[in-house]
Amino acid sequence: MTNWVRVMAACVWGLLLSAGVAAQDKADSLRMALVQAHLAWGDVEKNLSAFGERVDRCTDCDVIVFPELFVSGCEMKKKPAAVAVASKDEVAASYAAVRAAMLEWAARTGALVIGSTVYQEEGKYYNRLLAAYPDGTCLHYDKHNCFKKGSFSAGKERLVLHWKGWRLATFICYDLRFSDWSRNDGTYDMALYIANWPETRRDDWNRLLKERAVENRAWVAAVNCAGTDPTGLVYRGESCLLTPTGDVAARSRDYADEIVRATARDE
C-alpha cells in the first residue's frame, strides 16, 4: 500500500469515527436509560441542573434518552404570539449551553445522550434533537412533522445514529403519527421517540408505538415527560421499550419521575 493510500484510508476512517458511524461489531445488547421526568416548565437552568443529577444515576448505560424539549417543555395550549416568540427566544438562547451540557454528560458516562431543545436560525425555530457522543461528536435531527399552525419549522432529513454497532433512528413526538416517515427500509435496528405526549391522547401513544415496532420489525424506545404543565395539562409518561414483536420489555410507572433501565438484545 502506498503512503498516499495509507493517508487517504486514515482520513476516511477518522471522518467515520468523528461522525459516530464507523463500522462496529454489533453488541449483543444495548443498555438503555429512559429518563421520564417532571419538567420545570420554561426554566432552562433548573432543568439542566435536575437532568445533570439524573444523569449521575444513569450508571452502566449505553444510551441515555430524555423527553422532548427537556429543558423547557412544550406547552400544548396556545399563547399570544408575542409571548410565544419571547419564550422560544429565551430557550433558543441557551442552545449552546444545552449542547455543551449534553456533551459533558456523554463524556462523563461514556453513553450516547439524546434529547431535544429549541434551535433558532435565520428567523426560524426548530425542535432540534441532539445526539451527544462521548468522543465530542454531536449530531442533530430537526423534527420533520410539525403542527400546521405550530411554532416550529420542519426539518428535512432523517437521522440514524450508529452506536455500539446498533443503528438508532430518531423521531420526535408528532412524528409517531406518520408511518411513512418512520418506515424502516433496512437502515435501523431501533426507533427512538421522544415526546411531550398528553394523557388525553394516551391510547394513541400506546397503539402507535406498538404499530411502529411491529410494522418495522424494530425495537422501539419511547420517552415521555410526566406530571402537569402550567395550564393543567397532564402527562402520564408511559415511557417504554418495546421488542420488534410489539411486546413490552420495560415500562415506567404512571406519572412517575424515574429512570427506566431496560436492555435491547440482538435477536
C-alpha cell at 92: 433558543
37-46 tens-digit pLDDT:
999 999 999 9
Cα–Cα distances in Å, from 22 out to 51, 75, 166, 168, 185?
29, 38, 11, 14, 20
Average pLDDT, integer, range 191-200: 98
50-79 tens-digit pLDDT:
999 999 999 999 999 999 999 999 865 566
Considering 58, 74, 143, 258, which one is annotated as catalytic?
A: 143
Q: Which domains does the chain have, with CATH numbers?
A: 31-265 (3.60.110.10)
Considering 58, 74, 146, 173, which one is annotated as catalytic?
A: 173
Active site residue 173: yes
Active site residue 46: no
What span, in angstroms and rounded, lies between the C-alpha atoms of 266 and 164?
Answer: 12
> What residue type is 126 in one-letter code?
Y
pLDDT higher than 80, residue 26: yes
Compare 33 and 20 and report the one with higher pLDDT.
33
Active site residue 75: no
Rounded to two decimals, what is the model's pTM? 0.89
> What residue type is 20 in one-letter code?
G
Considering 68, 199, 238, 258, which one is annotated as catalytic?
A: 68
Quote the mean pLDDT of the chain: 90
